[in-house]
Amino acid sequence: MLRKRIIFTLIYSEGFFMQSRNFRLQKVGNLNWLEKNYKFQNISFALDELILLNASKSNKNIYEFAKTVSNLVNDVFIPIAAGGGIETLEDAELLFKSGADKIVINSLLVQNSIMVQDLIRNYGSQSVVASIDCKSNGECYEVFIKDGTVKVDFSLSEYIKYLEDLGVGEIYLNSIDKDGTGFGYDETLIESINKITSLPLIIAGGAGNESHLLKGLQLVNVSAVATANLFNFIGNGLPNARNLILESGENIANWNKD
């Protein structure tokens, strides 16, 4: 059985890392600030993966973003998935050459399905993560692209079937409603997805403490829990979360033994 994972998501925008709440971004600090406060090379034992998302609004400069990926790789010895602004095979290749182990795609899923299939053929489904941003309208969940600004014409169930047909290997499921709140994951959304597909899920949006991560990993089809909360998990937050999850008996790697 595959190990479950704890993931830290970094939101990047035009040279800075951001805190997000309901997809509204607030600048926190640059790469030097990140290194000073997190020292990822020291806490990487508490994580299984990093996800770096380019949420730049005006210009998703893939070359500047790739430099940031490369700089992170110099200090981190865990897998990194990177996405945001990927439009061509060359964009994906640049991120892989900069040190990314996987790519994350969102808007491209709708805008160019042929390119998505080309990416999967070139790099394998295990290297292509489909990012889905969902928001409740009070009656059902709607899917958005373009950093949460454009609603797609698919229903949620239609969209999941569409992604299965494309051949993506994993879904990064983010709740816009829960994003940055620290109130816990949107379990109703996750259960809705589980009724539709057995694709492995990375769940995001809402984690604010260790118990949220543990509860998330205990949900059906959840292969990984992600948090982008730069403040609730500063200091010993992530190591404490991993210890709690290990003590619970969940199937995550124990770096002290594995």
Banded pLDDT at 246 (limits 50, 70, 90): very high
Amino acid at 98: S
Burial class (CB in 10 A: 0-12, 13-18, 19+), 24: exposed
Catalytic residue among 91, 133, 147, 179: 133
Annotated catalytic residue 133? yes
What tokens appear for 187 in the block? 């379990």
CA within 13 Å, CB half, 72? 35
Share of the chain above pLDDT 90, in %: 76
Q: What percent of the chain is predicted at pLDDT more than 70? A: 95
Using pLDDT thresholds of 50, 70 and 90, give the confidence band for residue 178: very high
What residue segments make up the domains of the chain, in order of their start? Answer: 5-248
Closest CA to 84 of 12, 21, 3, 165: 12
Given a cut of 90, whether residue 234 has pLDDT beyond it is: no
Q: How far is CA 71 from CA 27, 33, 55, 95, 228, in A?
A: 19, 13, 18, 12, 19
**Closest Cα partner for 226 from 47, 68, 104?**
47
* Average of per-residue pLDDT across 77-81: 90
Q: What is the pLDDT of residue 76?
A: 77
Instruction: Give residue 258's pLDDT.
Output: 53
**CATH of span 5-248:** 3.20.20.70
Q: Which two tokens stand for residue 65?
A: 């973003």
Q: What is the DSSP letter of 141?
A: E
> Phi then psi for 166, rounded to 5 degrees?
-65, -30
Residue-wise pLDDT for 12-39, tens only, equals 999 899 999 999 999 988 888 877 776 6
Least confident of 97-111, 144-158, 162-176, 244-258: 244-258
Cα of 130 vs its chain's centroid, Å: 9
Average of per-residue pLDDT across 80-108? 97
Q: What is the pLDDT of residues 179-220, one digit of tens each?
A: 999 999 999 999 999 999 999 999 999 999 999 999 999 998
Say how far apart CA 18 and CA 11 lie, in whole Å: 5
